[in-house]
Structure 1
Amino acid sequence: MLRARVVVHVAFEDAGAFGPVLEERGYVPETLQAGVDDLGDPLAPDLLLVLGGPIGVNEEEDYPFLREELGLIRKRLEARRPTLGVCLGAQLMAASLGARVHPGPAKEIGWSRLALTDEGRASCLAPLENTAVLHWHGDTFDLPEGARLLASTDICTHQAFDLGGFALGLQFHPEARGGLIERWLIGHTCELRAAGIDIPGLRADSARLGPALEAVAPDVLRRWLDGLPGREE
């Protein structure tokens, strides 16, 4: 039995389209709420999945639990244990690896395609090459030392990185389900209005583009899990 620890920061940013793949690949997922639950032994689970949220990596004074979370991720990465971070999760991974996390040039909220690097095209992200993905962030990160850049957008150069095959950081949201976007629109309404986002337009884009992402996102996770060190066939 394989154990997957899933760390969420807000309830509606969950494993989404990735959840069924974890079970398909033999993982028993355990969902923990950052800031509320004890995140436990960083090395115990076979897989750590750290998801997104509206707070920033550098807000430790206001959210002291971030120190514990960063420490947990750091220990896990030092041990080269399989770790996947999405949005805030990727930023926490980058910070744990010593990279700077800072405001990006602009808020990136909405649907657009990634520009995959050559290494990205040869990676688990290959299924996303011609598919729009959901972006929802204001901060970005410098590329951690030793990491490979897999994808970019015009607004955000560092959209995805791989470290040693055991760690994958994704600034975008491949796990998002367009049919459940209303949860995001409600939960992030203050951010959306402050950023001047066209909410009906984002809802319509999610209905139009979400199904294509949901069709290929599971294969991204399958490829990454199947390619983990020691798991190659």
Structure 2
Amino acid sequence: MSFGSSKNGDNVLPFPGRRMVLTPEPAPLLPVLIVLHQETSTPGRVGNALRALGHPLDIRRPRFGDALPETLDRHAGAVIFGGPMSANDSDEYVRREIDWIEVPLREQRPFLGICLGAQMLAKQLGAQVAPHPEGRVEVGYYPIRPTEAGHALCPNWPERVYHWHGEGFQLPGGAELLAEGNDFPVQAFQHGHAFGLQFHPDVTYAMMHRWTTRGCVRMDSPGAHPRHLHFAVRAMHDVTERAWLKRFIDGWLARMPRSIMSEAAE
């Protein structure tokens, strides 16, 4: 059996007695802007979910000099991830990222803030970001309680999700609470097309190994879970969290208007 070659160089298999029709390739999807805060940081499971949907990743690190776009007309959405710094820090890039969040808010583009990114979104919306009054942290898996709005947005939330933070935030004015917790009451919220998650659905198994090895100082803080529990609880709740993240990302990207998606891809 021999293979023919198409005009664009792809191998095609002819079927005897049938007219061969080459279907055009679908238009490429817009990239998603990814904002990371360390040289070794990765978008983890969120990046995997976006790539699986066919979206390229436009990765930028403003901390190391990367510029942020003046508009998201050429992006399907934007995600700001976590990091060891605080949204209250005076570093220029921290202030610049918080100010930049006004772009997706103004243009009504899908925006997702994870941990530090959620705290930055909260500050952009006028809410306070602060440590726990008793110095407690969430490092490990902790229970969350989705609200009625959270259930309506995305069903089948995991009972426990992975955290790595020592600061929390108030619910911004005009935002809707999607999930709440104990030590840090605001765990997820929505403001138009923007979402903030205090927890880390992006963390892969490899990332958890790195964090629990290099972040041992944070693991000595009040409320933190010992390293072995991170992996023991992950074995019980990770499947649910991974399935929830896929549904959430699908619905989050669907907020990009189809007309804009098609116009920007031309």
TM-score by length of 1: 0.87
Which of 142, 148, 164 in structure 2 is aligned with 1:112?
Answer: 142
**Paired AA for residue 181 in structure 1:** M
1:55 aligns with 2:82: no
For 1:192 and 1:182, the matched residues in 2 are separated by 13
Q: CA distance change for structure 1 residues 42 and 185 in 2, over 3 Å: closer, same or farther?
A: farther
Which of 172, 184, 193 in structure 1 is aligned with 2:199?
Answer: 172
Q: Give the corresponding residue for 2:211.
A: 184
For 1:20 and 1:42, the matched residues in 2 are separated by 26
For 1:204 and 1:176, the matched residues in 2 are separated by 15
Structure 1 residue 104: Cα displacement: 2.3
For 2:40 and 2:243, the matched residues in 1 are separated by 20
1:103 aligns with 2:131: yes
**Paired AA for residue 198 in structure 2:** Q
Structure number with the higher strand fraction is 1
Q: CA distance change for structure 1 residues 192 and 91 in 2, over 3 Å: closer, same or farther?
A: same
1:90 aligns with 2:118: yes
Q: Give the corresponding residue for 1:145.
A: 173
Which of 224, 229, 232 in structure 1 is aligned with 2:252?
Answer: 224
Structure 1 residue 118: Cα displacement: 0.7
| 1:165-213 deviation per Cα after TM superposition (whole angstroms, max 9, x unaligned) | x101101111222454101112322222344642233233334433442
% of aligned pairs identical? 31
Q: Secondary structure at the match of 2:113?
A: strand
Whether contact under 8 Å (2:98, 2:120) holds in the other structure is yes
Which of 133, 156, 160 in structure 2 is aligned with 1:127?
Answer: 156
Structure 1 residue 93: Cα displacement: 0.6
Q: CA distance change for structure 1 residues 134 and 12 in 2, over 3 Å: closer, same or farther?
A: farther
Give the number of the structure whose alpha-carbon radius of gyration is greater.
2
1:17 aligns with 2:60: no
Q: Give the corresponding residue for 2:32.
A: 4
For 1:66 and 1:179, the matched residues in 2 are separated by 27
RMSD: 2.2
Q: Secondary structure at the match of 1:189?
A: coil
Q: List alignment gaps of at least 5 residues for structure 2.
A: 1-28, 260-266
Query: How many residues end up aligned between the 2 structures?
Result: 226
Q: List alignment gaps of at least 5 residues for structure 1.
A: none
Q: Give the corresponding residue for 1:158.
A: 186
For 1:54 and 1:42, the matched residues in 2 are separated by 26
